[in-house]
Chain A
Amino acid sequence: MSHVDDGQLNALLDGELAPADAQAIEAHVASCAVCARRLEEARQFLAESSSLLDVLVPPELPVARPEVPAPAAGLVGATPVAPALDLAPAVPAPAAGGERRPTRTAKEVALDIDGSTQKSPAIRPIFPREVERRAAAAAEESTKGAPKRRVDWTQLAWAATVVLAMGVTWMVSEIRHAGGAPSAERVAVNDGASTATAAREPAAAVATGPAAGAGAHRRAAPPPRAVATKPPNARGNKPLPAEDATPIGRTGALASRARDQAGLDRASAPAAMGAMQAPAPPAPVAPTTPRQQPPTAAANQERGERLAPPTASPLAGAAGVGGAGAPAAPAARAPSADLLGRAVRRDTAREEVLTSFRRITLDQAARRLSGAIRLIDGRPWDHVEVGPGRLVPGSDRLHDVVRVFYFDDRGRPLILDQQRIPAPADTAGEARAAIGTLGMAPGDTLVTTAPSGLTRIRWLDRKYFWLSLSGNMPADSLRMLVVRVR
């Protein structure tokens, strides 16, 4: 018999030969030293390769090994060079009751040795059995109830803080709207620099003298709600709330004193104030732009003429009396020198506004604005003033500001300031300077809200009209009015 080839020797070692073939080869190996040596060599290669492949198997998993056939008795006994039993250590038998390891397949191993995926043997194929096991585990977990969520107290605290802040803001806004903004707030409308409420009462006392006593008297007066019940067409001479209608200037002091002396209520106070003011002969003035005139424009115009200079703005006057209407703070009862000084300085600025702004008619205002004045569509205006731009925050200081006064149903003032900035086509340098002063470009809109609650929306339109709408109301409410400015 010729020598046995390696394939047959390996088949013998793997137990793949038929018994007759195995016996024949064993017989030959027993008598052939060369084949015996080659069989031993093949056995060593088998054992070593098996141990190498075992390395790829995770150690904690049972290693599946092919079932090693029982060695032929004749082979063991016939020759010492074919100890088939010696395969046992190299190729261990499967564990008792163990099944073929399901987590390592030929596909997995092949992937391991792929040139592009030389990674770990830990690629886990998803077997249906494993999927079922996971589903069962998930179902079991779900039956135990949802896992407890950890409460993130920090996030909860932040959320509570935000909600609280929103609630407080809303409440303050509601209170302000419901009770009518204290006149102290209105100081900011005319004088943006003056917002401190507590110091206003001494300021008013210093500035107005008699008005201070009147202020103390008015403190107990109810808010100006009655005004709101008047129909719009009866507001030709719009009744102003007591605080608003009480200027600190000459006419303001007179008006408040007259009202106090006459014992007039708030609804009739404006009429008394009007009677105290120097009457001017009514002069019919044609509306500048009929489209812009509200239904009561004629009445407004007439009143505007009648209340023309030298009266100061009732609203501006309200600034001085605002503190009187506000709750008296302890500091106001015993004003310190510093507080008094600040009040005086503030009052000086207020006085400057009062003396610098003067009433004009609508067509006068229109002429100052090169023929067009912007009004809030559908809302009757109260009066128009003009004053230097340096006194109006955000405006071009080099030009006058036309100021249109409105009052809402609650008597809260709304001021629409406007300037016409020379367009670049007119005088480029001047326009650039003005725009540089404003810090705005055409189309820009700036919304600011002061701590006092005064909201101001400033914008520069495409026609180089600078406008500013101010009022003690939320920015959203003010925006609703801004879109109606024509």
Chain B
Amino acid sequence: MEAPPQNPKPWLFAVALNLVRDDGRRAVRQERKLALLKGEQGEASAPAADDEVERGERIEAVRAALAQLSENDREALLLKAEGFNYDEIASALGLAKGAIGTTLARARRRLVEAYRAKGRMRDVAR
């Protein structure tokens, strides 16, 4: 039996990411739809309908932009957004720490560019 990792957090997330990948592949194969719970928006602070629509569109655009990233770039970006440091991200993704900065730089630029491109297409469509 292997000794427990010194830093369990990135190890745990690496395991979680592997599970997520497996799960995603299985879902694609079986065309399974995940049961999604209703959003946790509070009723008291329910936003206006226009804001809600606009926000929904923006969310869709961000997701579409994220989907255009490579898997490594996307996961590095999301892990960073979750508060992980470079060491942890490197451990989770199996990359060198020195490559994380480059990966993040590329991911951020591509995300923004993809989002802007989406916005331009949307504007043209309107």
Complex interface bits, A99-124 against B, C-beta within 8 A gives 1, otherwise 0:
01001111101111111111111111
What separation, in Å, do the CA atoms of A122 and B63 have in the docked complex? 13
The answer to whether A222 has its CB under 8 Å from any CB of chain B is no
- The A31-65 residues at the B interface (CB cut-off 8 A) are 42, 45-46, 48-50, 52-53, 55-56, 58-61, 64-65
Contact B36 A66 (CB under 8 A): no
Beta-carbon nearest neighbor of A100 in chain B: B83
A60 to B75, CA, bound (A): 24
A110 touches B86 (CB 8 A): no
Most buried by A among B21, B40, B99: B40
Q: Which among A60, A65, A103, A107 is the interface contact of B45 at CB below 8 angstroms? A: A60
Q: What residues of chain A have their CB less than 8 Å away from a CB belonging to chain B?
A: 5-11, 14, 16, 42, 45-46, 48-50, 52-53, 55-56, 58-61, 64-67, 100, 103-107, 109-124
For residue B98, CB closer than 8 A to chain A, the reply is yes
Give the residues in chain B near A11, CB-CB below 8 Å.
86, 100-101
Residues of B within 8 A of A8 (CB): 101
Q: How far is it, in angstroms, between the C-alpha of A3 and the C-alpha of B70 when the chains are bound?
A: 27
Q: How far is the CA of A118 from the CA of B93 in the complex (A)?
A: 23
Interface membership of B13, Cβ < 8 A: yes
Pairs across A and B, CB under 8 Å, 19 listed: A7-B100, A11-B86, A16-B85, A42-B105, A49-B111, A52-B65, A53-B81, A56-B63, A100-B83, A105-B82, A107-B19, A107-B20, A110-B78, A111-B20, A113-B74, A117-B27, A119-B36, A122-B39, A123-B34
Verify A46–B40 contact, CB threshold 8 A. no
Dominant secondary structure at the B interface: helix
Chain B 21-60 near chain A by CB (<8 Å), digits 1 or 0:
1011001100111101111111001010000000100110
**CB-nearest residue of chain A relative to B103?**
A7
Given the known interface contacts A49-B77, A60-B41, the answer about A117 and B24 at a Cβ–Cβ threshold of 8 Å is yes
Q: Are B13 and A106 in contact (CB under 8 A)?
A: yes
Docked CA distance A123–B58 (Å): 18
Closest to A108 in B: B20
Complex CA distance for A118 and B21, rounded to whole angstroms: 14
- Whether A107 contacts B98 by the Cβ 8 Å rule is no
CA distance A122 to B32 in the complex (A): 17
A411 to chain B, nearest CB (A): 71
Contact A7–B83 (Cβ < 8 Å): no
CA distance A10 to B17 in the complex (A): 24
Bound-state CA distance A52–B112 (Å) is: 8
Answer yes or no: B117 CB below 8 A from chain A CBs.
no
Say yes or no: B34 contacts A117, CB within 8 Å: yes
Instruction: Write out the residue numbers on chain B whose beta carbons fall within 8 Å of the beta carbon of A52.
Output: 62, 65, 111-112, 115
A7 touches B37 (CB 8 A): no
Task: Say yes or no for B109: interface residue by CB 8 A criterion.
Answer: yes
- Please give, as numbers and ranges, the residues of chain A lying within 8 Å of B112 by CB-CB distance: 45, 48-49, 52
> Complex Cα distance A113/B114, Å?
14
Closest 4 CB pairs of A and B: A7-B101, A7-B102, A6-B105, A11-B101
A66 touches B101 (CB 8 A): no
Query: Shortest CB–CB separation between residue A198 and chain B, in angstroms?
Result: 68
Query: How close is A318's CB to chain B, nearest CB, in angstroms?
Result: 73
Interface core residue of A8, A60, A104, A118 (most chain B CB under 10 Å): A60
Interface residues of B in 111-126 (CB under 8 A from A): 111-112, 115
